[in-house]
């Protein structure tokens, strides 16, 4: 259990931000960053003041996905966030050279993450999303020890290989007293843009079963979709570019539950 003094220590970071939510996954490549970016923009569309902290040490990809190529300003005291599509962004990618492979020791992960919280001029926000690295490592530990997380959203694809690791992620957050808000099934199904036929490429429905087993909510099912991928790779998230599309509706419905 978290002690009162531990909780008090946590309040020094991001004190002006009402809700703090980790977006996590057990495995890499399941679309965690894609979901984080679209959820952040969806929350803006719902009228919230939103921050996004890209803490994915293995590949901080949020600046690319939001089409940000400038570096943040430093005013001598604090690093300024960059605002894109209404989202206040800070990324580990701004602090390191992306072309260099970085081997992160635990202590370094800890320091870098804390810097992204303490040395950044985060404005007053309704909610901040943390795009976490995949797995259950040092970054997750640092975050859960440094801030009072209101919850974690887990992203998984429907196949067993992804689900096994998603379950580990849920168990890890529960162990450090972070409530699981639910799981999102990404790449859940495919709808042919020509004939409308639906195909369950990765065996749709795996996440629903795991949610029942773990007594947590299935937050939504995001289809595998060319426009979602193009939006991410092109720096124009679908929720920002075409909020009325059926793909965007899925993200908006999930954001409403947060």
233 counts as binding ligand ADP under rule CB under 6 A: yes
Rounded distance, CA 13 to CA 6, Å? 13
Scanning 40-48, 73-81, 85-93, 218-226 for contacts with ligand ADP by CB under 6 A, the matching segment is 218-226
* Residue 61: C-alpha distances to residues 101, 234, 256 (Å): 14, 12, 25
32 counts as binding ligand ADP under rule CB under 6 A: yes
E-state strands within the chain: 17-25, 50-54, 79-80, 82-84, 87-91, 120-121, 125-131, 151-156, 180-186, 190-191, 198-199, 218-222
Scanning 44-52, 136-144, 158-166, 229-237 for contacts with ligand ADP by CB under 6 A, the matching segment is 229-237
DSSP string for 137-177: SHHHHHHHHHS---EEEEEE-SSHHHHHHHHHHHHHHHHTT
Scanning 82-90, 92-100, 161-169, 222-230 for contacts with ligand ADP by CB under 6 A, the matching segment is 222-230
Q: Of these, 26, 51, 206, 232, which contacts ligand ADP (CB under 6 A)?
A: 232
Q: Of these, 91, 142, 186, 216, which contacts ligand ADP (CB under 6 A)?
A: 186
183 counts as binding ligand ADP under rule CB under 6 A: no
User: Is 206 one of the annotated binding-site residues?
Assistant: no
Q: Of these, 24, 30, 40, 250, which contacts ligand ADP (CB under 6 A)?
A: 30
Asked if 38 and 8 count as a contact pair (C-beta separation under 8 A), the reply is no
**For 164-167, which contacts have Cβ atoms below 8 Å and span 24 or more sequence positions?**
164/26, 165/25, 165/26, 165/27, 165/134, 165/135, 166/25, 166/26, 166/27, 166/207, 166/210, 167/26, 167/210, 167/214
Smaller CB separation from ligand ADP, 9 or 235: 235
Rounded distance, CA 88 to CA 86, Å? 7
Smaller CB separation from ligand ADP, 112 or 228: 228
Rounded distance, CA 179 to CA 24, Å? 13
31 counts as binding ligand ADP under rule CB under 6 A: yes
Scanning 85-93, 120-128, 164-172, 217-225 for contacts with ligand ADP by CB under 6 A, the matching segment is 217-225
Q: Please, what is the minimum distance in Å from the beta carbon of residue 75 to ligand ADP?
A: 31
Q: Please, what is the minimum distance in Å from the beta carbon of residue 77 to ligand ADP?
A: 32
Smaller CB separation from ligand ADP, 13 or 182: 182
Interacting residue ranges for ligand ADP, rule: CB under 6 A: 25, 28-34, 61, 186-187, 222, 224-225, 228-229, 232-233
Task: Give the residue numbers of the binding site for ATP.
Answer: 26-33
């Amino acid at each position: 259990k978290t002690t009162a003094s531990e909780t008090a220590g946590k309040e020094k970071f991001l004190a002006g931000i009402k809700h703090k939510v980790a977006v996590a996954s057990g495995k890499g490549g399941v679309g965690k960053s894609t979901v984080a970016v679209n959820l952040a923009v969806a929350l803006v569309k719902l009228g919230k003041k939103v921050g996004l902290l890209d803490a994915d040490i293995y590949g901080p990809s949020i600046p690319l996905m939001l089409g940000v190529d400038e570096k943040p300003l430093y005013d001598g005291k604090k690093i300024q966030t960059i605002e894109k599509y209404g989202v206040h962004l800070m990324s580990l990618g701004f602090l390191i050279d992306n072309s260099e492979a970085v081997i992160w020791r635990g202590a370094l992960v800890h320091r870098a993450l804390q810097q992204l919280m303490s040395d950044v001029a985060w404005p007053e926000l309704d909610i901040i999303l943390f795009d976490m690295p995949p797995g259950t490592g040092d970054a997750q530990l640092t975050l859960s020890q440094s801030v009072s997380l209101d919850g974690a959203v887990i992203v998984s694809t429907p196949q067993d290989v992804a689900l096994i690791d998603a379950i580990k992620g849920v168990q890890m957050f529960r162990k450090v007293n972070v409530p699981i808000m639910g799981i999102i099934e990404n790449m859940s199904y495919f709808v042919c843009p020509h004939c409308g036929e639906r195909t369950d490429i990765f065996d749709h429905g795996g996440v629903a079963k795991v949610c029942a087993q773990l007594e947590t909510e299935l937050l939504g099912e995001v289809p595998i979709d060319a426009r979602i991928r193009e939006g991410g790779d092109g720096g124009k998230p679908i929720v920002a570019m075409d909020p009325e599309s059926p793909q965007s509706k899925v993200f908006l419905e999930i954001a409403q539950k947060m």
